[in-house]
Amino acid sequence: MTSKPTDESATSSAVESVTDLESLRDRPGVQFHEETERVDSELFETLETLDDMAVVGVTNGDGDVLLMRVTEECALKLPTAEVGPDEDYAAAARNWVESQAGLEITLDSLEGVWCHEGRLEGTDRTTTRAFVVFGATPEVDEDGTDGTTDKRTEAYTVGWYAELPTDAAVAPGTRRFFD
C-alpha cells in the first residue's frame, strides 16, 4: 500500500455541504490521502458494493470525544455514516449523529479525505472507497444546554471518552481526535 497526504494542516470554518471530493483535493487545510492496494477478486467484488463513509469526531467542551456502538455486536467507534453516490457527506454526517446519538451538531471542520483504491490483481480494474472526516461540536442553546434532541437514540451505546479505548474500531482520521 502507498499513502500520499497532500497537505499536513487541517482546519476550516463550519462545513455546510460536501458533494465533490475532487474539489477538496487542493483545498488549503484539508488533508487528502490516497492508498492503493492490490486485491483478489473476492475482496474487489466486496469493495465495489460498499458505500463511501462520513466519519464524525464530535468533541464536547471538556475535550471528550463521542463514541458509539450502533449494535450490541459492533465495536465502539466515531459516528460513521454511509454515503451513497451523489449524496452530501456533510448532511449524512449530521443526520447520522442526530438520529443515532440524539445529538444536534455543528460540523466545524473538514479534517481530511481518505481514498482507498482497490486494484484487481492482474488487471487495470479499480474501485475506490472514500472516507470524509469531519470535526464537530454539539450545538448549544442560549442557556448553555447541549443540542440533545427529544428523538429516541437508535444507537446501542453512546458515550463521551477522554481516551480511545483499546478495543475501539479505528476508522480513518479517528486518532486526530485523541491526541
The CATH number of whichever domain residue 52 belongs to comes to 3.90.79.10
Which residue did the predictor score with more confidence, 128 or 154? 128
Contact between residue 139 and residue 37 where contact means Cβ atoms under 8 Å apart:
no
Whether 20 maps to a domain, the answer reads no
- Angle (nearest 5°) at CA 82 between 98 and 148: 10
Average pLDDT over residues 158-165: 95
DSSP letter (8 states) at residue 21: G
Whether 151 maps to a domain, the answer reads no
Contact between residue 158 and residue 66 where contact means Cβ atoms under 8 Å apart:
yes
Of all residues in the chain, the percent with pLDDT exceeding 90 is 70
Whether 113 maps to a domain, the answer reads yes
What was the pLDDT predicted at 5? 36
Does the structure show a pLDDT above 50 at 170?
Answer: yes
Cell of 111: 479534517
What was the pLDDT predicted at 156? 85
pLDDT in tens, 7-54: 333 333 488 899 999 888 888 888 899 999 999 999 999 999 999 999
Average pLDDT over residues 77-88: 95
Cell of 3: 499513502
Provide the domain limits for residue 55. Answer: 1-7+32-140
Distance (Å) of CA 52 to CA 11, 13, 153: 22, 23, 23
Does the structure show a pLDDT above 90 at 107?
Answer: yes
Average pLDDT over residues 112-121: 95
Distance (Å) of CA 64 to CA 136, 137, 163: 12, 10, 8
What was the pLDDT predicted at 151? 54
Whether 77 maps to a domain, the answer reads yes
Contact between residue 90 and residue 54 where contact means Cβ atoms under 8 Å apart:
yes
What was the pLDDT predicted at 1? 36
Whether 3 maps to a domain, the answer reads yes
Cell of 156: 446501542
Q: Which residues partner with 113 through β-bridges?
A: 32, 132
Whether 86 maps to a domain, the answer reads yes
